[in-house]
């Protein structure tokens, strides 16, 4: 299974943009890049996903490198409610099996 590598932790100031990196050098052509986040005492929450092109939604943007070996989740203006563990996951297009890594713990400072 292709794996992802993320920093263990990152800090951000409130109302500033946050760029969360993810390396996935062994990604295959059929792997989708998913991002989920988990707030304390809650189940994971879907953030965004993409295959090859950059993606935007109301929560965040996903920038995918041209060779797809890395991606970056962009939170445009961090709020205190964005403090969570963010998981970058590769998911094959033919099943729902998601292999979570350790994720990045994002701390947002007021």
Q: Of 89, 92, 86, which Cα lies nearest the Cα of 107?
A: 86
Planar angle of CA 29, 34, 21, nearest 5 degrees? 95
Dist. CA 13–CA 68, nearest whole Å: 29
- Contact between 63 and other proteins per CB under 8 A: no
Q: Which one among 69, 93, 107, 109 touches other proteins, defined by CB under 8 A?
A: 93
CA distance linking residue 97 with residue 95, whole number of Å: 6
Residue 35: CB minimum distance to other proteins, A: 10
In DSSP notation, 40-64 reads: TTS--EEEEEESSS-EE-SS-EEEE
Please identify, among the stretches 7-15, 19-27, 68-76, 101-109, the one whose residues bind other proteins according to the rule CB under 8 A.
101-109
Considering only residues 10, 44, 55, 72, which one is a binding residue for other proteins as defined by CB under 8 A? 44
CB of 48 to other proteins, least distance (A): 9
Which residues bind to other proteins, rule: CB under 8 A? 30-32, 34, 36, 42-46, 49, 51, 87, 91-103
């Amino acid at each position: 299974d292709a794996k992802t590598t993320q920093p263990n932790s990152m800090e951000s100031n409130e109302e500033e943009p946050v760029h969360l990196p993810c390396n996935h050098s062994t990604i295959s052509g059929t792997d989708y890049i998913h991002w989920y986040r988990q707030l304390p005492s809650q189940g994971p929450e879907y953030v965004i996903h993409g295959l090859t092109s950059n993606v935007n939604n109301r929560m965040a943007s996903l920038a995918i490198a041209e060779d797809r070996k890395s991606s970056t989740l962009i939170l445009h203006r961090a709020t205190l409610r964005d403090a969570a563990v963010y998981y970058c996951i590769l998911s094959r297009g033919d099943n729902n099996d998601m292999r979570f890594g350790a994720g990045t713990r994002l701390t947002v400072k007021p």
